[in-house]
């Protein structure tokens, strides 16, 4: 097995091989737009048979390109209209405690280990600024926090796409 092969599949993904050809990029673009698109609809839109498209999707799933299918929930619609990015700079020996607290805290929807002066970047949701304060207080036990409240999202979260994928758009 080459050093570029995924250890769990043995499939070589060097330069994405032929795995991300134009058809697969088109399938990914369509599924990104609507993950509930049926196999028959995908097949019609890419000009292939449904079994051939199903085989391509299976391969994309097996190789880990497609990691899952998710529901996109609007936090504001479920009573969490306030969102913030929180940078955390743990105190000495506190790094694992910050990660553990982030994992256990239901208000944290994302936690990233980052480079720079801070070690973590968290996305936190709450019903109000006051409620975010109690979440931040929990992290202050382990280090410094810097918070930026999100006021607008001009580009909603989206999967990464290469610059050559523009032609493969939905």
Task: Tell which CATH classification among 3.20.20.70, 3.30.70.920, 3.30.1300.10, 1.10.630.10 matches the domain 75-149.
Answer: 3.30.70.920
Domain boundaries of the chain, sorted by first residue: 14-70, 75-149
Tokens representing residue 42 in the block: 């995908």
**pLDDT value, residue 18:** 67
Residue 88 vs residue 2, higher pLDDT: 88
Mean pLDDT value of segment 36-60: 97
CATH class of 14-70: mainly alpha
* Measured CA distances, 29 to 2, 56, 93, 161 (Å): 29, 14, 43, 9
What is the rounded distance in angstroms from the CA atom of residue 163 to the CA atom of residue 39? 26
Tokens representing residue 128 in the block: 């109000």
**pLDDT value, residue 7:** 43
* Measured CA distances, 90 to 85, 96, 104, 134 (Å): 16, 9, 17, 18
């Amino acid at each position: 097995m080459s050093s570029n092969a995924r250890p769990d599949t043995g499939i070589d993904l060097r330069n994405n091989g032929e795995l991300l050809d134009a058809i697969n990029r088109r399938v990914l673009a369509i599924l990104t737009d609507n993950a509930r698109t049926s196999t028959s609809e995908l097949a019609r839109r890419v000009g292939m048979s449904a079994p051939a498209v199903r085989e391509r999707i299976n391969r994309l799933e097996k190789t880990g390109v497609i990691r899952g299918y998710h529901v996109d929930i609007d936090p504001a619609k479920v009573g969490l209209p306030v969102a913030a990015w929180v940078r955390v700079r743990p105190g000495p020996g506190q790094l694992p405690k910050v990660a553990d607290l982030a994992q256990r805290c239901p208000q944290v929807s994302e936690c990233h280990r980052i480079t720079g002066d801070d070690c973590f970047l968290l996305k936190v949701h709450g019903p109000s600024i006051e409620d975010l304060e109690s979440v931040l207080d929990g992290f202050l036990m382990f280090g410094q926090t810097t918070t930026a409240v999100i006021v607008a999202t001009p580009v909603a979260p989206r999967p990464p796409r290469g610059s050559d994928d523009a032609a493969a758009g939905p």
